[in-house]
Chain A
């Protein structure tokens, strides 16, 4: 079952603009992570935000987490053509067997037009 759901499914912006992607989830989490996937490649970790954090920055990335609304957002400022990729949120939680697992959303496909 999908825990995180990204919105929008696809986003097209001009280079230099900001891009905002949202993620909603259903159950309690320990943390939420964002990953990036370039076309035809594996996922690359971008940032992790813990359940007791509200905002986190990394370079041009800003992530917020609202546990009361069960939602997170990823903001990429001053976008570049090289930011074109799919972005996934992943929520972490313990399975019934006691193993910690990530559940990924379906992703937002970002296109940055030069």
Chain B
């Protein structure tokens, strides 16, 4: 593993189903983030975690939950998917979540909710 990996690469999901998007990083970064990218809207922050054991809400957290049991993994769960959650989801990380830091992005998960 080098950097950030996301799984699955893409998924078609029936509305109402539960889905977990996986994100793993091997850079020992403390901070991790989940964004969604929609055409014409850019990237919007869903949830973040500044360190293992803590999480916070971003701009669009409704319908999503996250956990951070360890440094490397930051799964995003859709408890009951709805069509408006059709999007491309990106996981990112940074060293500490500090104000001068670069964020490193995974390749994304393309989710279609029908």
Interface residues of A (CB under 8 A from B): 1-2, 30-31, 33, 40-45, 48, 50, 88, 92, 94-95, 97, 99-107
Whether A42 lies near B107 (C-beta < 8 A) is yes
Contact, CB under 8 Å: B98 / A101: no
Residues of A within 8 A of B56 (CB): 95, 97, 99
B 74-114 to A, binary, CB cutoff 8 A, 1 in contact else 0: 00000000000000001010000111111111111000000
Q: Is the interface of B mostly helix, strand, loop or mixed?
A: loop
Q: Residue B58 at the A interface, CB < 8 A?
A: yes
Pick the interface stretch among B14-22, B40-48, B61-69. B40-48
A1, A43, A88: the one contacting B59 at CB < 8 Å is A1
Q: Decide if B50 is an interface residue (CB 8 Å cutoff).
A: yes
Known A92-B99, A94-B99, A97-B56; contact A44-B105, beta-carbon cutoff 8 A? yes
